[in-house]
Chain A
Amino acid sequence: GENVEQHPSTLSVQEGDSAVIKCTYSDSASNYFPWYKQELGKGPQLIIDIRSNVGEKKDQRIAVTLNKTAKHFSLHITETQPEDSAVYFCAASISGFQKLVFGTGTRLLVSP
């Protein structure tokens, strides 16, 4: 089955810096890659997603890139703000299957 690895496990940046979180997946049949933000005591919130037919997607300060050949995808947050502090999860799903497989999570801390 699919396996998703996520790095780093923790990331500390200064306000205004950029943050990059990387994930690799094992199954080349995966074709959907969402990113979720989870704040303490809450459920995950979808922040951006990408499908395998595109290589990059942007939404304001957030972007995701996908390299199908290398089987990795990354989340880029620019001009970070303290409210970006949370745990971020990447995920992948295999074509034809309903389930999402989650990465292990990255705790992002943005210091003022």
Chain B
Amino acid sequence: GAVVSQHPSRVICKSGTSVKIECRSLDFQATTMFWYRQFPKQSLMLMATSNEGSKATYEQGVEKDKFLINHASLTLSTLTVTSAHPEDSSFYICSAREAGLSYNSPLHFGNGTRLTVT
């Protein structure tokens, strides 16, 4: 149980274009999902907290207009990287916590999306 599916697993796009990444909780509902970014051989950096039916909460230094987050249902959150540039190339990972559980309960992660901007 507690499977988080992320799509696509890899994407290559040209500079200036936009890319959408989907994160789905397959067997549970998630009122909150989290988006992380990970550079090679580094830790996970939280970008934003995605709340179902409301605006996302962005971490300091993360451009909300560049990284658009939509959490339209209890099983789907999307991250859109707008006007992508080579410096946006990274590994993006989403995670979700089952709705109704306390904050000290497990976060389940997707398998990430490798974005390469050429």
Q: Which residues of A contact B (CB under 8 A)?
A: 31-32, 34, 36, 41-46, 49, 51, 89, 93, 95-100, 102-105, 107
Contact = CB atoms under 8 A, between A and B. Distances in A.
Contacts of B42: 104-105
B114 interface: yes
How many B residues touch the partner, as a band?
20 to 34
B107 A46 contact: yes
Main secondary structure of the interface of B (DSSP, over half): strand
A42 B114 CA distance: 10
Contacts of A45: 109
Contacts, number: 57
A30 to B, nearest CB: 9
Contacts of B104: 31-32, 51, 93, 95
Interface string B79-97: 0000000000000010101
B93 A43 contact: yes
A49 B101 CA distance: 15
A42 B112 contact: yes
A104 B112 contact: no
Contacts of B109: 36, 43-46
